[in-house]
Amino acid sequence: MKFPAGTDGGTITNPQEEGLIQYLMAFRGAIEIEIEIETGTGNGFILTENGKLIAAYFKTGETVSRGREALSYLMMDSPESGSQQTFNLRKYSDDEFTLALKIAQAENLLLSSISQKVEAPAPESVTESPATPVLLDTRKLEKIASLPGVIAVSAFFEGFPVQSLGYADFEHVAALAEDLMRAGAKIADEMKVGHLDQMILETAENKFIIVPCGDLFLCVFTTADAQLGLIRVVLKSIQEEITA
């Protein structure tokens, strides 16, 4: 499988600290990713257009992952997983992006099942697909993460974390958190108590806040003594900005 070479867009050796999301918001092309882990080296790529993740591929040893499964490996946070990542950006022209999109469709690499059914796909049709997530401005995540008591924050899409700050095992809880939010929305609808804005889960040691935010869900992990008032206000303001 060979994708267009594109134009060199630079290399990011520490994506969490160098602000990868800021690059993604204005980048169209392929991000080639090499991940060094204790068991060896994995290689893959993400096809993206202006903050929207289109397709993903990942291979380590003889194991190959495609689509959302590959994305879960490629977007894992280095500090949390103990891995080291190198991102090589390849910028695409209109023709190169269209060719890459056709290859991704033929190889079943698309993240969206809706996108996989599109014939002769063009970049415009994919970017408008509601099943392809629009990532948040990283400054919004940083604002949440800076609040007192916040340990970590993550944005997830269809059960996979795509943006994270802080230290928490969002790889394992993202799918459960999204299921919980959808179940809460169903309960609110059946009880006719209005639209579900936020859900809060409290334990003796921590608190979790889960909110819908555009195409994504946000999960905020805090200490047990965190004051949720300010956190909830900030989350509400971000929700309103996204839907405005």
Which pLDDT belongs to residue 3? 78
Which pLDDT belongs to residue 222? 92
Which pLDDT belongs to residue 122? 41
Map residue 175 onto helix, strand or coil: helix
Q: Which two tokens stand for residue 190?
A: 């059946």
DSSP 8-state code for residue 134 = B
Which pLDDT belongs to residue 20? 54
H or E stretch covering 30: strand 28-37
Which pLDDT belongs to residue 24? 58
Which pLDDT belongs to residue 241? 84
Please list the pLDDT of the chain residue by residue as tens digits (244 residues).
677 888 887 776 655 544 555 555 567 888 887 777 666 677 788 888 776 778 888 887 777 888 777 776 666 544 444 556 777 888 888 888 888 888 888 888 887 643 333 333 344 444 444 455 677 888 888 889 888 999 989 888 877 788 888 877 777 777 778 788 888 888 988 898 888 888 898 999 899 999 888 888 888 999 999 888 889 888 888 888 887 6
pTM beyond 0.75: no
Q: Which two tokens stand for residue 104?
A: 């991704």
Which pLDDT belongs to residue 8? 82
Determine how many CB atoms are found less than 10 A away from the CB of residue 192.
6
Which pLDDT belongs to residue 207? 92
Map residue 25 onto helix, strand or coil: coil
Contact 111, 54 (CB under 8 A): yes
Max Cα separation, the chain?
A: 55
Which pLDDT belongs to residue 16? 52
Which pLDDT belongs to residue 118? 32
Determine how many CB atoms are found less than 10 A away from the CB of residue 103.
16
H or E stretch covering 1: none
